[in-house]
Amino acid sequence: MWTLITGAGSGIGRALALELAPRGHNLILAGRTVRKLEDVADTVRVEAPDCELMTLEVDLADPESTRNLAHQVGDAVDHLSAFVYCAGVGEPAADFASLGLIDFQEALAVNVSAPLLLTQSLLPLLKGGDPASRIVMIGAGMDKHAQPGTGSYGISKMALRRLVRQMSVEFDTMPDGPVVSLFQPGLVDTPGIRSHIKKAGDLNLPHAEWLAGRLEAGECLTAEQAASALVFTLNQVPDSDFHGAVFNGADLVDSLSFAGS
Ligand SMILES: NC(=O)c1ccc[n+]([C@@H]2O[C@H](COP(=O)([O-])OP(=O)(O)OC[C@H]3O[C@@H](n4cnc5c(N)ncnc54)[C@H](OP(=O)(O)O)[C@@H]3O)[C@@H](O)[C@H]2O)c1
């Protein structure tokens, strides 16, 4: 049972790899920084020695590199049980006038075009599963909550939401297609969000202080909690409730802790 995770070297993707490894998932860890992927792989080898895994370098802002990742995955495995797209970017801008086209295009490339291209390229590995292979794209609440300086990130995540919707209706027309959902993590304490808060704070953007205050107060999920909620969606939610759904990480963590109490 092979699972591909992009953005596996950090934050939610890293935590997801560590949660899935002892649960019978063999892992393909894909990301931009090989050192971070190898660090995750080393930890998996210690914590889940039976897990088969490989690390693959990719720049998801680059379509050639993204296609190459799909080829490498196809050379290595016949089938993917799950594909979780955790990679994400979105540089803040000081104001609307300085929203840079390069940053905007990078966010669209990594957060929208690469999930599309990778899913298309991996379809032969994602079709024909029994149970159906599961795809999860990681969205963001910023899609519907526009804040000054967050255009690149928010607009691209809104497009990703629509892409998931599109995939779900397209997969309905494939008799042996995969199922897909969007996972909205809510605020999660990761290197990515801390880096974003620092950059947004340096630009005096109002949401930076609010986010920093919530992290400080612990009003956020840990990466491990977000990963547990993802594992629940991957392993336990029935297909009919999974396909086309939008999951909220904080709500899932609440209901899982209620169920466990
Ligand atoms: N943390 C939150 O509060 C929060 C809230 C809502 C949504 N999200 C979403 O959750 C997902 C995971 O975020 P996170 O907080 O865990 O952030 P993170 O710690 O920064 O992890 C993001 C990962 O994406 C990888 N990545 C970025 N650009 C890439 C590229 N061009 N090619 C390949 N890999 C690339 C990064 O690689 P490197 O480490 O090598 O740079 C990193 O491993 C993202 O989609 C994010 O938008 C997070």
Question: In ligand 1, which atom is closest to the CA atom of 188?
Answer: 3
pLDDT at 256: 86
Q: Is 151 in the pocket of ligand 1 (CB under 6 A)?
A: no
pLDDT 10s digits, 15-34:
999 999 999 999 999 999 99
pLDDT > 70? residue 261:
no
pLDDT given for residue 6 in this prediction:
98
Count of H helices and E strands in the chain?
11, 9
Query: If you measure from the C-alpha of residue 174 to the centroid of ligand 1, how many angstroms do you get, rounded to a whole number?
Result: 30
Interval between CA 178 and ligand 1 midpoint (Å): 24
Rounded Cα distance between 237 and 251, Å, is 14
Burial class (CB in 10 A: 0-12, 13-18, 19+), 20: buried
Mutate to test the pocket of ligand 1, among 4, 10, 195 (most ligand atoms within 8 A of CB): 10
CATH number at residue 131: 3.40.50.720
- Cβ of 15 closer than 6 Å to ligand 1, yes or no, is no
220-254 pLDDT tens trace: 999 999 999 999 999 999 999 999 999 999 999 99
The total domain count for the chain is: 1
Count CB atoms within 10 A of the CB of residue 217: 8
Range of the domain at 197: 2-260
Of ligand 1's atoms, which has the minimum distance to the CA of residue 59? 32
Question: Which atom, in ligand 1's list, is nearest to the CA of 142?
Answer: 6
User: pTM for the complete prediction?
Assistant: 0.97
Atom of ligand 1 lying closest to residue 191 CA: 19
Question: Is residue 109 lining ligand 1, measured as CB closer than 6 Å?
Answer: no
Pairing type for strands 179-184 and 134-138 reads: parallel
